[in-house]
Amino acid sequence: MLQAFVCANGKVHRASAPATVDALRSAAWIDLESPTAAEVDLVQQATGLHVPTEAEISEIETSSRLANREGVLYLSMPLISTLTELASLVSAGFVLSQQQLITVRFAPSRTFKLYSDSLQVESLRNGTPAHVLVGLLEAIVDRGADILEQMRRDAEAISHTIFALSMQPSTGRKNEDAALRRILGELGRLGDLGSHARETLVGVARIAPFVEGTAADWLPSDLPPRLATLRQDVASISDFGTHLGDKQQFLLDATLGFINIAQNNVMKVMAIASVVGIPPVLIAGVYGMNFKIIPELNWTWGYAYAWGLIILSALIPTAMFRWWKWI
């Protein structure tokens, strides 16, 4: 998909017919989402700039993600995507020159869509390509902050669920096992989401100073303060993400602790049952032996006497365990 935004009277507007060479030449921002080969050729023909491929924007080396080629900045970063139930990373590429900004990605992004839609409601002042890029980076950071805030609320809900299990009467081992299994799944989802959010913020933290330093000669004077604020926001959000990661680790340890307690309780019950069952089995084994002379064999109450010993031998260990508060 190809979109183009033009700058007129210091504001940015969506081009009505972007798929033409003339429209692309006058565009301040060209946005490519999963572009076809024809769209890539059209953009390169109109702008004279190289449109990076998916393999190029997926490189992890810093030299590949941040490059200055003849005054044109080629930037790339991982971008978190939450359009599906499980979060994922989408590689995003940026090509910035004094005249134009080209963005390219190979999967949908809610952040890009919301930002492009916002330009139609509140048009960008001083709508240069650099302003569009900085505004887009700010939108990415805002989106990352929103995700971490939602993660904090989810972590609080998980925390209440975990520790409520230890305070409420037992609802049955099966129900508690299902709850702990569900909690482990939620913590895994949050950990994955937080990892993707941090990778996105690291990408912004690398791009902001690179743009400020490399494009200092032609960067509009109002953008360096915004880039400095952007770096401060990324640093504070990253600190919050670290704290959130520590809390998730604590919740994971607590969940595993409850699972271990449940397993220990099962083993304790089995051990107590085996200890309580040994004396009755021993007594029954003695009276079940085929000896010719058994004193109790001709007793009138011999059978009841044997049963009494069996029951008493089971009750005494049980009472001792309860006295010691083992059960």
Quickly state the pLDDT bin for 221 (edges 50, 70, 90).
confident
Q: What is the model's pLDDT at position 115?
A: 83
Q: What is the model's pLDDT at position 326?
A: 67
At residue 140's C-alpha, the angle toward residues 139 and 142, to 5°, is 60
Q: What is the model's pLDDT at position 306?
A: 83
| 3-state SS, residue 217 | coil
Does 118 score more than 80 pLDDT?
A: no
Of 77-81, 219-223, 267-271, 313-317, which gets the smallest average pLDDT?
A: 267-271
Q: Which residue has the tokens 């926001």?
A: 233
Q: Which two tokens stand for residue 249?
A: 């680790």
Q: Could you give the percent of the chain with pLDDT greater than 70?
A: 91
Q: What are the φ and ψ backbone dihedral angles of 195, each rounded to 5 degrees?
A: -65, -45
Does 298 score more than 80 pLDDT?
A: no
CB 41 within 8 A of CB 33: no
pTM for the structure as a whole: 0.76
Q: What is the model's pLDDT at position 79?
A: 85
Does 268 score more than 80 pLDDT?
A: no
CB 114 within 8 A of CB 138: no
Q: Which residue has the tokens 């692309």?
A: 24
Which helix (H) or strand (E) covers residue 171, if one does?
none
For residue 210, the number of C-alpha atoms closer than 13 Å in the C-beta half-sphere is: 24
Average of pLDDT values for 204-217?
87
Give the separation between CA 327 and CA 272, rounded to whole angstroms. Answer: 9
Interaxial angle between packed helices 223-287 and 173-214, expressed in degrees from 0 to 180 and rounded to the nearest 10 = 160
Most confident of 4-8, 156-160, 288-292: 156-160
Q: Which residue has the tokens 């299994």?
A: 181
Give the separation between CA 140 and CA 205, rounded to whole angstroms. Answer: 11
Q: What is the model's pLDDT at position 121?
A: 61
Longest Cα separation, the chain: 117
Does 167 score more than 80 pLDDT?
A: no
pLDDT averaged over every residue in the chain: 82
Does 171 score more than 60 pLDDT?
A: no
Does 219 score more than 70 pLDDT?
A: yes
Average of pLDDT values for 252-271?
80
Average of pLDDT values for 7-23?
70
Q: Count other Cβ atoms within 10 Å, centred on residue 92.
A: 24
Domain boundaries, the chain: 2-263, 265-323
Is the Cα torsion angle 5, 7, 8, 9 positive or negative in sign?
positive
CATH number of 2-263: 3.30.460.20
Quickly state the pLDDT bin for 318 (edges 50, 70, 90).
confident
List all residues 6 or more positions away from 57 whose beta carbon is below 8 Å from its beta carbon. Answer: 76, 91, 92, 93, 104, 105
One fold for 2-263 and 265-323 = no
**pLDDT tens profile 34-90:** 888 888 888 888 888 888 888 888 887 777 788 888 888 999 888 887 777 777 788
Q: What is the model's pLDDT at position 6?
A: 78
Q: Which two tokens stand for residue 107?
A: 């999967």
Per the rule left: phi > 0, alpha: psi between -120 and 50, beta: everything else, 320 is alpha
Give the separation between CA 23 and CA 6, rounded to whole angstroms. Answer: 8
Question: Which of 119-122's residues contact partners 24+ apart within 8 Å by CB, and which partners?
Answer: 119/5, 119/12, 119/13, 119/14, 120/13, 120/14
Average of pLDDT values for 95-106?
88
CATH number of 265-323: 1.20.58.340
CB 96 within 8 A of CB 130: yes
Quickly state the pLDDT bin for 125 (edges 50, 70, 90).
low
List all residues 6 or more positions away from 170 whose beta carbon is below 8 Å from its beta carbon. Answer: 176
| 3-state SS, residue 301 | coil
Which helix (H) or strand (E) covers residue 192, if one does?
helix 173-214
Does 293 score more than 70 pLDDT?
A: yes
Quickly state the pLDDT bin for 170 (edges 50, 70, 90).
low
CB 51 within 8 A of CB 35: yes
CB 101 within 8 A of CB 28: yes
| 3-state SS, residue 15 | coil
List all residues 6 or more positions away from 119 whose beta carbon is below 8 Å from its beta carbon. Answer: 5, 12, 13, 14
